[in-house]
Amino acid sequence: MAKEPKPIDDLTIWDDAKAMIKKAREEGIETVHERLQMQTPHCKFCELGTTCRNCTMGPCRISKKMPRGVCGADADVVVARNFGRFIAGGAAGHSDHGRDLIEVLEAIVEGEAKDYKITDEAKLIRIAAEVGIETEGRDIMAVAEDAMECFFGDFGSRKSEVAFLSRAPKVRRDKWDSLNMTPRGIDREIAEMMHRTHMGCDNDAPNTMIHAARTALADGWGGSMIGTELSDVIFGTPTPKMSTANLGIIKEDQVNLLVHGHNPVVSEMILAAARDPELVARAKELGAEGINVGGLCCTGNELLMRQGIPMAGNHLMTELAILTGAVEAIVVDYQCIMPSLVTIAGCYHTKFIDTANKARFTGGIHIDFQPKTAMEQAKEIVSMAVEGFAERDAGRVDIPCEPVSIMTGFSNEAVIEALGGSLDPLVQAIANGDIRGAVGIVGCNNPKFKQDSMNVGLAKELIKRDILVLATGCVTTAAGKAGLLVPEAIEMAGPGLKKVCGSLGIPPVLHYGSCVDNSRILQLCGALADTLGVDISDLPVGASSPEWYSEKAAAIGLYAVASGIYTHLGHPPNILGSETVTNLAVEGLEDLVGATFFIEPDPVKTAEMFDERIKAKRKGLGLSE
């Protein structure tokens, strides 16, 4: 590489990551950090969002010198179109994941998926009743079938709104109606976004942005929410439990299998197969103490929430986990999986196994995972990992640390139970100022940031100010590694939060699940607003994705804002080439939906911004400081 590599201390806040980056450099293995450096500086037009590749009269680049593309589109139109498609990509990812859960439910109903079952019948009945399905005295499979039909219907074009929109306050739904922002069907809004951004269609940037918000809402209150709720129905609703995190969860004396991706349909079955006595016996025959399943990214979060498996790391730890030299297999489904993992796995004995036809990796071992044959295939995968143990080169193993404890499992159901059956104690604590407000910190790592410096820095600053933090996705392991996900972390919190969390025995940063589980936070906000008789935009709450990178994170940010939640991003999406779009995002949306984005790379300043907002919202509700 021509450029001098960046000092390792600038790349991450973690010792385990530093040790593995050092090892990668010594062994001549390239990681995301070197590739970012090679790609820098990035194309200025692309950064500003002013490149258009939507037709072959172009491609065009819009600038002061060349203010219009061949078709006549200006910077506003081009930026809005690009952003709209970016959001559609994110909404499609989450929602297609949600659809996969409906298909598993369908297979259960039809008796075609013997390895899956309805684990939480009470939750199925509850959500079915919520979406208007008759449940009294009916067979659970009949209820499941109706729920399946209802949710499949949410993806289509025959409804005026998706079913779970009933969880949003009436004032909010009226607002969406008046703005043409009500999500009608999930696939419909995504397809319409592709249509609108075809050359010659929606050539009015604000109008395109409104539809982007509608598409994002279809994700948050539709596809993601269906994904979360049906995962709970099929695999169980999370309850609080303890686990561990960081690269130290990888065990020298065990077969290590890491699950990576998003959908619990694959990873839950892998975990079950890893407990198969025959496979465990075979692992022991080969000299291992057992089979250890560790989590990466969001499918890790799914298993952590429900089964308490240990977490190896978040997005920027995925390459580094393989560098321990002790991972027999990395099993992936889809989303957030760097194709570089195949290459790095190839530098070791690690088998890279992909399981989804819609996410295949050249050079990976492909298993076409189907609900019908799930356990059989999961055993085949685990068996590959077990046999791989014999190929491990002990001389190349380096597990850089001991794991730290974390607490997980905070579904809304679990929180309400901990509160004694209703949200009232939480409302009380907010009203008396012990909890001044709440912020969800969600999403990714991005090598453009010192890994987890923002994720952790912001969480610490907020809890100090008695602002409760809900963490999901890749922020989870960040918070966990920083010691924020254990009850003892109340020592880092302000006096009010310390009192409330201390009395409940919970951490001041609650692990709320994977990225699709941000829908849990939406539901909670809806319920809080209803309890108080106000709109979501009146609540002292916020959302943040400090180190975001993905289309999905942008969709999350936009559905949060469109739901009335003031939302922080650590760096801007590629929209700065349009003043109209930028101003709408950071200002204009306030008048429309009662919230905006704000962009701020510094965690302390970000916390101050949230603090100000929360003060104002508390005042608006007539609450004292």
Shortest CB 311 distance to ligand NFS, Å: 11
Total number of residues that touch ligand NFS (CB under 6 A): 14
Of 164, 207, 208, whose CA–CA distance to 186 is shortest?
164
Q: Is 71 annotated as a binding residue?
A: yes
Distance CA 309, CA 304 (A): 5
Q: Toward ligand NFS, which CB reaches closer, 336 or 353?
A: 336
Touching ligand NFS, residues 438-477 (CB under 6 A): 443-444, 473-474
Name residue 419's amino acid.
L
User: Of the candidates 550, 582, 596, 606, which one interacts with ligand NFS according to CB under 6 A?
Assistant: 550
Shortest CB 11 distance to ligand NFS, Å: 17
Residue 311: phi and psi, rounded to 5, are -105, 120
- Three-class SS state of 96: helix
Task: Determine contact, residues 600/572, Cβ cutoff 8 Å.
Answer: no
Residue 95 is a binding residue for ligand NFS (CB under 6 A): no
Measured on CA atoms in the order 148, 152, 158, 163, is the torsion positive or negative? positive
Of 521, 510, 608, whose CA–CA distance to 564 is shortest?
521
Q: Toward ligand NFS, which CB reaches closer, 444 or 462?
A: 444
Q: Toward ligand NFS, which CB reaches closer, 251 or 260?
A: 260
User: Of the candidates 515, 528, 589, 614, which one interacts with ligand NFS according to CB under 6 A?
Assistant: 515
Q: How many residues does the chain have?
A: 625
User: Of the candidates 24, 336, 478, 560, which one interacts with ligand NFS according to CB under 6 A?
Assistant: 336
Shortest CB 443 distance to ligand NFS, Å: 5
> Binding segment for ligand NFS among 102-110, 159-167, 530-538, 548-556 (CB under 6 A)?
548-556
> Binding segment for ligand NFS among 20-28, 547-555, 557-565, 599-607 (CB under 6 A)?
547-555
- What pairs with residue 598 in β-bridges? 568
Shortest CB 23 distance to ligand NFS, Å: 23
Q: Is 150 annotated as a binding residue?
A: no
DSSP state, 271? Answer: H
Residue 315 is a binding residue for ligand NFS (CB under 6 A): yes
> For the window 250-289, what string marks contact with ligand NFS as x by the rule CB under 6 A?
----------------------------------------
Q: Is 525 annotated as a binding residue?
A: no
Distance CA 309, CA 476 (A): 13
Q: Is 501 annotated as a binding residue?
A: no
Distance CA 583, CA 152 (A): 37
How far, CA to CA in Å, does 323 sit from each of 13, 22, 36, 139, 247? 18, 10, 19, 50, 10
Instruction: Quote the longest CA-to-CA distance of the chain.
Output: 71
Q: Toward ligand NFS, which CB reaches closer, 329 or 515?
A: 515
Touching ligand NFS, residues 199-218 (CB under 6 A): none
Distance CA 380, CA 466 (A): 49
Please give the radius of gyration of the chain, using alpha carbons only, rounded to the nearest integer.
Answer: 24
User: Of the candidates 133, 226, 298, 492, which one interacts with ligand NFS according to CB under 6 A?
Assistant: 298
Distance CA 260, CA 266 (A): 10
Residue 187: phi and psi, rounded to 5, are -60, -35
- What pairs with residue 541 in β-bridges? 438
Residue 553 is a binding residue for ligand NFS (CB under 6 A): yes
Q: Toward ligand NFS, which CB reaches closer, 548 or 610?
A: 548
**Where is the binding site, in residues?**
43, 52, 55, 60, 71, 262, 298, 336, 444, 474, 515
By CB under 6 A, name the binding residues for ligand NFS.
297-298, 314-315, 335-336, 443-444, 473-474, 515, 550, 552-553
